[in-house]
C-alpha cells in the first residue's frame, strides 16, 4: 500500500464537515476561511515511540492522546479547536493498526468538531505529529505573560494521576478499578476546551500542565516577569492541590501532594486571576462542568515557594525536560 492509498483508505473521512474548510485533504495545501476579526492559534505536538509512549498504549490510545495533547494547548489559549494536520511515520503499513488508529482519530476529531485537513505519511520509527489550529477573537488569547502580583493561582481537575500511573511499584496493591482510573488519566487525557473558553475573559495568564505543575507554572512566572519588568514569584499551598482518592490511597496525603506538584502528563489548566474576579471564574468553571481549585498566589519574591500545611517544604522542580 503506497502513501496515497493509505491516506485515502484510512484518513480521507477523518474530519467534520466545517463550512470554513474551503479545500481539505487531496491537494498541495488546504484552504481555510476563518471568521472575520478572529486570530488563528497554532500548535504542534509530537509523540515518539519509546519516549512518549510504550507498548502499553494501543493504536486507539495513541490517537486519543495525540488529539488531546494538541487540543490542550488550544484550551490554554482559550481557542476554539477547528483544524488539524497529521504527520505519521510508520515502520510498516499495518492495516489493523491503521484502522484502529484512524477510527479513534475520527471519533475524537468529530467529538470536538475538528476537521483533518492534510498531513504526510512516511516510513520510519513510529512517530506521530499533529498540528492543531484554532480560532478566537483578535486580542482575546490567554498567554503566559499576564500574571501580576496578587493574582490567585488556580488549577483544573486533579493532578498527579498520570505520573502515578507510571509508578507501577506504588500502585500494584491498589484495587483494579483504581489502577484502571489512573491509567486512563495517562493514556486518554481530556483537554479542557470548555474551561478555556469559559475563563478566557477573566484569566490574566494560562498554561496547560504537560511537564508538571511546578515546571509549567515556572513558565508563567518567567514570561510574566519579562513582560512586566518585575521579578515575579509564587507561593503554592500543596495541601490544597486537588488529588484523587487513588493517589491518596497509594501515597498518603503529603506525598500525593508532592507528586501532584511535579508529575507531568496531566493536561489540566493552570491559570491566574485577579481576586476580585474569583467568583465569576468559579461560576464560569461550573458552567463548563470543570472543577477548579485555588492553590496559591503570585507575589514579587522572584521565587517559587512551596508550603505544606503552612510549613516550608524543601523541593526542586522536576518537570520533564527533553535533552536535560
Consult the annotation and say whether 55 binds a ligand.
Answer: no
Give the mean pLDDT per block of 10 residues along the chain (324 residues).
60 71 85 95 92 84 96 98 95 90 94 92 93 97 97 98 94 96 95 98 97 95 95 96 97 94 94 98 97 98 91 64 36
| CB distance 232 to 272 below 8 Å | no
* Cα–Cα distance, 206 to 216 (Å, whole number): 10
Consult the annotation and say whether 49 binds a ligand.
Answer: no
Of 179, 178, 16, 39, nearest to 112 by C-alpha is 16
DSSP symbol at 241: S
pLDDT at 320: 42
Distance of CA 229 to the CA centre of its chain: 28
Of 285, 308, 286, nearest to 295 by C-alpha is 308
pLDDT at 57: 86
Consult the annotation and say whether 320 binds a ligand.
Answer: yes
Domains and CATH numbers, the chain: 3-137 (3.30.1330.10), 152-312 (3.90.650.10)
Of 160, 152, 159, nearest to 296 by C-alpha is 152
Residue 323 makes CB contacts below 8 A (sequence gap 6+) with none
Query: Vertex 18, ends 13 and 19: CA angle to 5°?
Result: 135
DSSP symbol at 276: G
Consult the annotation and say whether 5 binds a ligand.
Answer: no
pLDDT at 214: 93
Radius of gyration over every alpha carbon of the chain, rounded to an integer in angstroms: 20
Consult the annotation and say whether 216 binds a ligand.
Answer: no
| pTM, two decimal places | 0.91
Consult the annotation and say whether 265 binds a ligand.
Answer: yes
What Cα–Cα distance (Å) separates residue 54 from each residue in 43, 48, 157, 301? 24, 9, 25, 41
Consult the annotation and say whether 54 binds a ligand.
Answer: no
Consult the annotation and say whether 64 binds a ligand.
Answer: no
Consult the annotation and say whether 144 binds a ligand.
Answer: yes
The helix-helix angle for 95-111 and 3-10 (nearest 10°) equals 50
Consult the annotation and say whether 178 binds a ligand.
Answer: no
HSE-CB for 33 with a 13 A CA cutoff: 6
pLDDT at 316: 63
* Cα–Cα distance, 201 to 78 (Å, whole number): 9
Amino acid at each position: 500500500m503506497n502513501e496515497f492509498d493509505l491516506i485515502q483508505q484510512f484518513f480521507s473521512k477523518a474530519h467534520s464537515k466545517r463550512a470554513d474548510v474551503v479545500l481539505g485533504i487531496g491537494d498541495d495545501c488546504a484552504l481555510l476561511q476563518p471568521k472575520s476579526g478572529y486570530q488563528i492559534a497554532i500548535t504542534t505536538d509530537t509523540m515518539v515511540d519509546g519516549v512518549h509512549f510504550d507498548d502499553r498504549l494501543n493504536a486507539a490510545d495513541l490517537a486519543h492522546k495525540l488529539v488531546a495533547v494538541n487540543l490542550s494547548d488550544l484550551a490554554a489559549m482559550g481557542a476554539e479547536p477547528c483544524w488539524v494536520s497529521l504527520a505519521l511515520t510508520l515502520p510498516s503499513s499495518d492495516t489493523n493498526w491503521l484502522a484502529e488508529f484512524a477510527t479513534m482519530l475520527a471519533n475524537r476529531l468529530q467529538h470536538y468538531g475538528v476537521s483533518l485537513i492534510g498531513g504526510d505519511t512516511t516510513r520510519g520509527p513510529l512517530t506521530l505529529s499533529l498540528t492543531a489550529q484554532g480560532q478566537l477573537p483578535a486580542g482575546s488569547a490567554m498567554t503566559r505573560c499576564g500574571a501580576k502580583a496578587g493574582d490567585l493561582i488556580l488549577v483544573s481537575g486533579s493532578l498527579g494521576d498520570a505520573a502515578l500511573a507510571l509508578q507501577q511499584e506504588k500502585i500494584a496493591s491498589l484495587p483494579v478499578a483504581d489502577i484502571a482510573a489512573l491509567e486512563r488519566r495517562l493514556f486518554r487525557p481530556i483537554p479542557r476546551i470548555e474551561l478555556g473558553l469559559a475563563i478566557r475573559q477573566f484569566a490574566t495568564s494560562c498554561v496547560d500542565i504537560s511537564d508538571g505543575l511546578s515546571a509549567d507554572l515556572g513558565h508563567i512566572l518567567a514570561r510574566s516577569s519579562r513582560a512586566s519588568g518585575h521579578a515575579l514569584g509564587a507561593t503554592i499551598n500543596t495541601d490544597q492541590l486537588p488529588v484523587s482518592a487513588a493517589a491518596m490511597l497509594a501515597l498518603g496525603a503529603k506525598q500525593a501532594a508532592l507528586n501532584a506538584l511535579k508529575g507531568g502528563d496531566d493536561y489540566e489548566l493552570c491559570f491566574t486571576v485577579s481576586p476580585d474576579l474569583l467568583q465569576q471564574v468559579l461560576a464560569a468553571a461550573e458552567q463548563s462542568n470543570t472543577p477548579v481549585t485555588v492553590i496559591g498566589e503570585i507575589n514579587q519574591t522572584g521565587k517559587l515557594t512551596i508550603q505544606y500545611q503552612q510549613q516550608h517544604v524543601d523541593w526542586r522542580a522536576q518537570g520533564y525536560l527533553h535533552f536535560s
